[in-house]
Amino acid sequence: MKKEYDAIVVGSGLAGLTSAAYLCRYGFRTLVCEKRKKTGGMVDTFWHQGFAFDGGIRAFENSGIVFPMLKDLGIDMECKQNQVSIGIADRSVKLTSQDS
């Protein structure tokens, strides 16, 4: 039996999985191809000398697209406010994004 697809997505990172989700939602028979053993692309945890390190994005800003897209795809996600501290000379400045 020959397998046929309407779309083939190469890579299962955030962009690839988002593309595949929308393609499937609109009825396209979609194949996602990934060279690694797991999905997620750069969003990963790796170990070095007994310590765990998170790869990929640390946070994302709401550009007005992210949250409507998640809602549209039926993804319920809890988002925490992003706060970054930056050391300048002898003091620390905290930056907080209300839309992160």
Question: In the chain, which residue ranges form alpha helices assigned H by DSSP?
Answer: 14-25, 66-72
Dist CA 50 CA 29 (whole Å) = 42
Residue 53 lies in a domain: no
**Is 54 a member of any domain?**
no
Report the number of distinct structural domains present in the chain.
2
Q: Let me know if residue 4 belongs to a domain.
A: yes
CA–CA separation, 95 vs 65, rounded Å?
Answer: 22
Residue 96 belongs to what domain range? 59-100
pLDDT means per 10 residues, the chain with 100 residues, are: 91 94 96 92 86 76 77 82 75 66
Copy the structure tokens of residue 68.
Answer: 């409507």
Asked, for residue 52, whether it belongs to a domain, the answer is no
The conformational region for residue 61 under phi > 0 = left, psi -120 to 50 = alpha, else beta, is: beta
Give the integer Cα–Cα distance in Å for 68 and 99: 13
Which pLDDT value is given to residue 66? Answer: 80
